[in-house]
Chains A and B, each alone.
Chain A
Amino acid sequence: MRRFFQRLSINNNPGWVFILTGLGLILLLGLPLLTLDWRAIGKNFFNSVLSPTALTALKLSLLTSTSTVLVAIATGTPLAYILARWKFRGKNALELLVDLPVVLPPSVAGLALLIAFGRTGVFGVWLNALGITLPFTTVAVMMAQTFVSAPLFVGAAREGFAAVDKQIEEAALVEGANEWQVFRFIMFPLAGRAFLAGLILTWARALGEFGATILFAGNLEGKTQTMPLAIYLGFETYLDVAIALSVMLMVVSVVLLGLM
């Protein structure tokens, strides 16, 4: 705090310009979140959190987001390694493909998933012939979450791999290690921190997924109604439940960010 005020008073240093202009954003971010907490305090909070709808949604959200993270690690790690270390034609296009879902609106993701993998979708028709229908299932929820959140993991892991000193890698190769051993004993441990960051970001994003889920997976309690969907529907009927769920998601997010 003293350093803060020292900064203000240092001769000719216009520190207050930074503070005053930044204040607008601080208020915009802080006020709504504080209001949410303030509104949640009350005797209804625990009743709302423990209501069957809220608990079912929480359970489903934890199940789907954790599965999404596992899928992201399993499929994203090799992809991140390839992007960080290999050189090949079409690499730029591949990077673009992986980055795109991060900036696309989730409604676009949901629509794309639906017209590709829906029952009458381009690829969904084949799946349907095999007896697999995806829309309105818990698997669809996970697909929607993976679509929007796994690229965050790939991005973080790619940065992590790229930051590993090439000399260490080369030394290992000179010593006779094969590519798998380099990956297993050098790259993976050294990129650990970036991995953790990517993992948490992915989990948080999957936990908050709404737009793609409601379009591709629909809304059915216990099957596809995750916490954000329950909040949206609660907002319409039981504001208390919606607020309680929102605060719960916020607390989880704060804990996740604290882990990073």
Chain B
Amino acid sequence: MKKLPFIVLLFAAILLASCGPAAKAIPAPTAVPPTETMVPPTDTPLPPTATPAPRTLTVFAAASLTGSFGDIGKAFEAANPGVTVTFNFAGSQVLSTQITQGAAADVFASANHTEMDKLVTANLVAAGYKDFVTNVLEVILPANNPANVQTLQDLAKPGLKLVLEDKSVPAGAYSLQILANMSKDPTYGSDFNTKVLANVVSNETDVKQVVAKVQLGEADAGIVYITDAIAAPTLKTIVIPTNFNVVAKYPIAALTNAPQPDLASAFVAYVLSEDGQAIMKKWGFTTVTP
């Protein structure tokens, strides 16, 4: 019991430390254009250094958007001083449930239309939402390719350890669709689907988990978005031909009950803008606006 005052003090210190201003990453020094430093001092008062009230925009986004939206968030914060963008990345199906159960979000970016339509039905998103990117899927293999997978046919090799996303995850549903498409092709055979699914060792809760399991070498192969494969350059990949592949459409919308409605619309507009689309393209997405 003698320790009690110390413990209380320790907790108080932790609380204080965690409530303090969040450590901001120091921006890399950028070369200042010399002309600016040469401007002679004038009597005209400087425009008041605008310190807008800090506002937080909450964006719920599909797990496959983790990297690209991280960049978009930083760019949006830079363009809107005082705004902090916080993200909730998870499988789109988790996010739509969280939102219908009352989670406070401003923007929802989904990896399929199904989850967005659920929000339209619940009157949380206005009908006529826009797609902002499309994505296709790809087979990923660990760098050392332990099962020696060379072609898509090899996915049916008995004993191969394949990880997919659960069928409730958009990418999981797309993967099942791709396998079904391939089974219709005589090159693969009508039992291709069954053989491949017999190799599934786990149905993960989102694409990033599939990437992690393949990256660790725990699984021999996985099916993920091409953008996830680009974000993990150590992985080997096998392209899925267009005639079997599925084009995943990603819609984005501001929520009707967004706590920050104007910021929410601004964010959606930014994602659809030239700058936003350029960032998405950099991460391997196919952009919808020319």
Q: Do A and B bind?
A: yes
How many residue pairs between the two chains, A and B, have CB atoms under 8 Å in the bound complex? 57
A135 at the interface (CB under 8 A from B): yes
Query: What 0/1 readout, one digit per residue, does chain A (148-169) give for beta carbons within 8 Å of chain B?
Result: 0000000000000000000000
A220 touches B203 (CB 8 A): yes
A218 touches B202 (CB 8 A): yes
CA distance A119 to B201 in the complex (A): 13
Q: For residue B142, which residue of chain A has the nearest CB?
A: A120
B205 touches A214 (CB 8 A): yes
The 8 Å CB contact of B168, one of A136, A218, A220, A237, is: A237
Residues 122-151 of A at the B interface (beta carbon under 8 Å): 133, 135-136
* Chain B: minimal CB distance from A155 (Å): 20
A79 at the interface (CB under 8 A from B): no
**Contacts A218-B204, A219-B203, A220-B200; A233 near B166 (Cβ below 8 A):** yes
Query: What 0/1 readout, one digit per residue, does chain B (195-211) give for beta carbons within 8 Å of chain A?
Result: 00000111111000000
B193 at the interface (CB under 8 A from A): no
B262 at the interface (CB under 8 A from A): no
Main DSSP-derived SS at the A contact region? loop
A102 at the interface (CB under 8 A from B): no
| Stretch of B73-81, B90-98, B175-183, B264-272 at the chain-chain interface | B90-98
A136 touches B97 (CB 8 A): no
A8 at the interface (CB under 8 A from B): no
B201 touches A236 (CB 8 A): no
A58 at the interface (CB under 8 A from B): no
A76 at the interface (CB under 8 A from B): no
CA distance A219 to B168 in the complex (A): 13
B163 at the interface (CB under 8 A from A): yes
Residues of chain B at interface, number, CB under 8 A: 21
Interface centre among A136, A214, A221 (most CB of B within 10 A): A136
B218 touches A114 (CB 8 A): yes
**Contacts A233-B166, A236-B94, A236-B168; A136 near B216 (Cβ below 8 A):** no
A120 touches B203 (CB 8 A): no
A16 at the interface (CB under 8 A from B): no
The 8 Å CB contact of A237, one of B93, B201, B202, B217, is: B93
CA distance A256 to B205 in the complex (A): 30
The 8 Å CB contact of A236, one of B97, B200, B213, is: B97
A119 touches B202 (CB 8 A): no
Q: Which residues of B contact A133 (CB under 8 A)?
A: 161
Residues 210-239 of A at the B interface (beta carbon under 8 Å): 214, 217-221, 224, 232-233, 235-237, 239
A120 touches B213 (CB 8 A): no
A106 at the interface (CB under 8 A from B): no
CA distance A237 to B213 in the complex (A): 23
A219 touches B91 (CB 8 A): no
Q: Which residues of B contact A115 (CB under 8 A)?
A: 216
Bin the interface of chain A by size: 20 to 34
Q: Which residues of B contact A232 (CB under 8 A)?
A: 205
B161 touches A136 (CB 8 A): yes
Q: Which residues of A contact B205 (CB under 8 A)?
A: 214, 219, 232-233, 236
A118 at the interface (CB under 8 A from B): yes
CA distance A235 to B93 in the complex (A): 9
Q: For residue B101, which residue of chain A has the nearest CB?
A: A239
* Chain A: minimal CB distance from B102 (Å): 13
Q: Which residues of A contact B169 (CB under 8 A)?
A: 236
CA distance A219 to B169 in the complex (A): 13
Q: Which residues of B contact A220 (CB under 8 A)?
A: 200-203
CA distance A218 to B201 in the complex (A): 8
CA distance A115 to B200 in the complex (A): 21
A136 touches B217 (CB 8 A): no
Q: Which residues of B contact A214 (CB under 8 A)?
A: 205
Q: Which residues of B contact A236 (CB under 8 A)?
A: 91, 93-94, 97, 166, 168-169, 205
Q: For residue A133, which residue of chain B has the nearest CB?
A: B161
CA distance A236 to B118 in the complex (A): 12
CA distance A214 to B216 in the complex (A): 15
The 8 Å CB contact of B218, one of A136, A233, A235, is: A136
Residues 109-164 of B at the A interface (beta carbon under 8 Å): 146, 161, 163
CA distance A216 to B205 in the complex (A): 13
* Chain A: minimal CB distance from B203 (Å): 5
B97 touches A239 (CB 8 A): yes
The 8 Å CB contact of A135, one of B166, B203, B204, B218, is: B218
CA distance A224 to B204 in the complex (A): 11
Q: For residue B96, which residue of chain A has the nearest CB?
A: A236
Sampled A-B contacts (21; CB under 8 Å): A115-B216, A118-B216, A118-B218, A119-B218, A135-B201, A136-B218, A136-B219, A214-B205, A218-B163, A218-B202, A218-B213, A219-B202, A224-B202, A235-B94, A236-B91, A236-B94, A236-B97, A236-B169, A237-B93, A237-B168, A239-B97
**The 4 nearest A-B residue pairs measured at CB:** A218-B202, A120-B217, A136-B201, A237-B168
Besides A119-B146, A120-B216, A236-B94, 7 other A-B contacts (C-beta < 8 A): A120-B217, A136-B161, A136-B218, A218-B213, A224-B202, A233-B166, A239-B97
